[in-house]
Chains A and B, each alone.
Chain A
């Protein structure tokens, strides 16, 4: 009688994947799964289009095009050949404004999300790992932030911190980290119950070591999905706060465009090109992030993936 050997198990693995390093294999598997989701591709293409436009904008939009003192178009005029999306109240091209606005909107969205994920991830991880008093205390703090009404809190914060991009980023981060924290904590609890964590502990690994080396890698995919979905909401939150007049009026962003459009009476005048353009841009980008995030979620979550 020979006991079944491990060698036999290894022999059953498909030969092709055994050749590639496991990390790239996982990536390839992920890419293949992602490509099977058309909505994910649509979302990604939308995002890439905006990202590219935002990045190359300085090559075809001169600062003078956005300088109100040098704008030469008619004031709040409907689309024409020279101004395909019409002009704003100062005679600037709405097309240029919306492209330039993508820079501020995407930047604030991404940075606010990084902060959100950092705060939420750290608190969730610590709370999930130290389940005693520390964990309870952190979760009480989280609960406390959850019941605070986010929009008034964000408005109050940006008033206290002064107007501008940085305070809007902080306001968004402070009001939206709680979701990530609870998500990460739940996953940390699940991972913490697995035998390999106990094994690590038995081998003498310290708490930080377990958290960073063992728990975090297992939680990362979840954080990735959550953060991609959060970017969309952060961009919307940025637009909301700037629309409410909490941004710097000289910075062009989609929210500030909507703010000026309303403040200048675009509704009464019927300047649809000025109102709809930033609105649709916000819609597309938020949709792009949502589609992309959902697609990644489906690919990464074993319960959702069709493994056939």
Chain B
């Protein structure tokens, strides 16, 4: 759930825990929800257990130095400590560090680390653990994969004693207290466990259970692409918050939105993300609390405008015609973002402009009226006409220089309903301006692997961010390009210009808030003009939980527009409280008939398919 600067599954309206899509798993889970299956590993009867759904992106790896999927980052926020916490108001507070001071030149930060805290294996947590973690990321290229950009301005990190951590920066750093926060910052790992894994860091999966850590929860097990099971750390204290109120926590990955809703309705999970249509239906259910949160991420169309490695070597199989800024600009003019907002999100979101989402209004940026790109196919056509691309007999434009057609691949997430829906619109709009699109429906992992090797023309992608934009801005810098082998990169769309990089370095060291906002606005302007990422929309977070199974799950009063602040799993699961009474009877709700019909229909299709495929192989035996 929620705050994190991470590539997330864009299946929903730009939302972290959106669960849509149909896949075998999803279909079977619908069947399970209709009564054929059981959930994973329920706790002992006397224990209280909270079962929630995982972010649809799932977990790429439990190694926090490499991971950037939301499912994994949420996990790290629960099981590893960080220097600072991020308060519900979005302001950094104490966590491992109970206090901090800065030198007069703003170059030296001295953190006082809490005394007496212990890792889950009994070893003491000291400043040395934090120093070791930061130093590894600063010196080891592999360890820097996920979060290297956050420590780029660090000069040195030392731990003179067990409770003192000294961070020296090259220049004053504006976002120091956001560098190590739960979920979207750097998690601190136990040195005594991880120092043995530096050599094999690239392949180390961190799957020895229970995972040694410190946080509100302790990870007991993770079944790949199925569920995680945590137990509460009863010794956990943070400010006025005590230990988690539930004894165990199960985070379950459901790949289908209707499966999630079915699981929610019959009480298998207590909380899930939904799409706009489901939200409106569930809002009417008195057992459900439906919460609409302001969007903390974007869903966008990425364009490969000429991928290069760190050394400037061309990489991948991207179509060179997209290197023409006019083609990219025409694509932007051809997209009706308002229509997407209506059709895909049911209006629950904001039309995309700037690179940073509306959850953090201080960073929000809109193009000047003269620069604003709106839906105007005539203008898109005239841009392409002026650039010399003439339409062939089939209506597809041809590049006069190479004789090649404007024919591009569009990679979408095969398990994402919203990607599938958006791709149909893109295909229609781009055909109207003489660009043909071939849709490559790829698995989440395959799409990201193609992305890093630059084997793509256009991609659907989505990211969310925490309140400090440094990380999200960093994935557009030259420093995140891969090396010549295609590895050690975390670039978003292979964007790289010195101008942007200069501003990026500048905003990190600009302490004056107003000044920093100006620089970040300039950076968003550059990205907007570059059209490497066409931001389509920022989807609201649509979260529904069962108020008879859990209370206090979501925090923050709604704003005047009825939107709640973006949520963090760190606080949600910590604050979540079991209901006083025994849990309610399984749900029987208004559209239960629909569920049954749907579940039966899925089963019939699947079974019939399997039966038929099977039948043919045995038909000779039956004569």
Contact = CB atoms under 8 A, between A and B. Distances in A.
Contact of B439 (A116, A249, A276): A249
Interface of A: 67-70, 75-76, 89-91, 116, 145-146, 150-151, 154-155, 159, 162-163, 175-176, 178-180, 182-183, 185-186, 226, 229-230, 232-233, 236-237, 239-241, 243-246, 248-250, 258-260, 262-270, 272, 275-276, 279, 282
B484 interface: no
A245 to B, nearest CB: 5
A68 B424 contact: yes
Contacts of B591: 267-270
A266 B594 CA distance: 8
12 contacts: A150-B617, A179-B618, A229-B619, A233-B613, A245-B414, A246-B414, A258-B601, A264-B277, A264-B417, A265-B277, A267-B30, A276-B597
Contacts of A180: 616
Interface of B: 20-24, 26-27, 30, 256-258, 261-262, 274-275, 277-278, 281-282, 336, 339, 342-343, 346, 412, 414-415, 417, 420-421, 423-425, 427-429, 432, 439-441, 443, 590-591, 593-595, 597-599, 601-602, 604-606, 608-610, 612-621
A37 B417 CA distance: 45
Contacts of B275: 264-265
B598 A266 contact: yes
Q: Which interface residue of B256, B346, B420 has the most chain A CB atoms within 10 A?
A: B420
Given A248-B441, A275-B601, A267 B262 contact: yes
Contacts of B602: 243, 262
A244 B27 contact: yes
A175 B613 contact: yes
Interface of chain B, helix or strand or loop or mixed? helix
A155 B24 contact: yes
Nearest to A240: B609
A75 to B, nearest CB: 6
B27 A176 contact: no
A108 B412 CA distance: 23
Contacts of B420: 249, 259-260, 263
B620 to A, nearest CB: 3
Contacts of B262: 267
Contact of B616 (A178, A265, A266, A275): A178
A127 to B, nearest CB: 12
B428 A70 contact: yes
B346 A275 contact: no
Nearest to A147: B617
Contacts of B421: 68, 89-90, 249, 260, 264
Contacts of A237: 609, 612-613
B22 A75 contact: no
A268 B594 contact: yes
B441 A249 contact: yes
Contact of A150 (B343, B594, B595, B613): B613
B412 A249 contact: yes
B258 A163 contact: no
Nearest to B609: A240
Contacts of A69: 336, 339, 425, 428-429, 432
